[in-house]
A and B are shown apart, each in its own frame.
Chain A
Amino acid sequence: MMSLASYLIISLILFVVGLMVMISRKNIVAILLGIELILNAAALNFVAYSRYVTNNLDGHIFSLFIIVIAAAEAAVGLAIVIRFFQIKETIHVDEATQLRN
């Protein structure tokens, strides 16, 4: 029941769903949601390997830093989204066609 494989399958599903969210949604905030799912899939893998394969806690440290970086990424990404909305009055990703206004 609880084995390395089951954790990896859950992580795989999370990754694929995150990727599909990133591809199929046109709202930039939703794309950021997809990125969060993908980062979580990676962090879950690290912890699962740390318990079932290695004997140390390096995997925990890795997923700790993944969470830290995900938070920083969300902060900066959402700031960009807000700025984009102030300029373009929309957050449709297809409207983001210029590098500067």
Chain B
Amino acid sequence: MIPAEFDGLMPVVIFMGLAVLLFFGGHFLSVALAPKKPSHLKSTPYECGELPVGSAWSMFNVRFYVVGLIFIIFDVESVLMFPVASIFRELNDMGQGGYALIIFLSFISVLIEGIAYCWRKGDLDWVKSFQHSLKKETK
């Protein structure tokens, strides 16, 4: 038998290392093979032939943040549900299925409240979120 320290983690690290190796190897090949004739026009950002006006790092809408916000809350809730889900069958076999179901459902019901709230308030609409809140305020 082999000790457990060689199990599990090593392939993960090896795959990550190979990805980095492949990246730099490909880069090296590209540097060695590719032609190098830089010009100013070539290295301007592509905007269909027009010269770019202003930086691209300014246009951003708050709805992207709201989507990210809803995502992170759901992400964290699913993280907490994973260990409970993976012992659900075991608990059920031990005859504690009802107890596990109640815990699980009460956790999910809070999750459903969250999505229902966001739906009701129009945070899930992509275009209308601004008009929706405008309508609310003028009412």
Chain A contacts to B: CB under 8 angstroms: 64, 67-68, 71-72, 74-75, 78-79, 82
A79 touching B69 by the CB < 8 A rule? yes
B65 touching A71 by the CB < 8 A rule? no
Interface size on B, residues (CB 8 A): 9
Q: Does B20 contact A (CB under 8 A)?
A: no
A82 touching B65 by the CB < 8 A rule? yes
- Cβ-Cβ contact count across A and B, 8 Å cutoff: 22
A68 touching B76 by the CB < 8 A rule? yes
Q: Does B80 contact A (CB under 8 A)?
A: yes
Q: From residue A80, how far is it (CB to closest CB) to chain B in Å?
A: 12
- In Å, the complex CA distance between A78 and B66 comes to 11
Q: Does B112 contact A (CB under 8 A)?
A: no
Q: Does B118 contact A (CB under 8 A)?
A: no
- In Å, the complex CA distance between A57 and B112 comes to 30
Q: From residue A43, how far is it (CB to closest CB) to chain B in Å?
A: 14
Q: Does B16 contact A (CB under 8 A)?
A: no
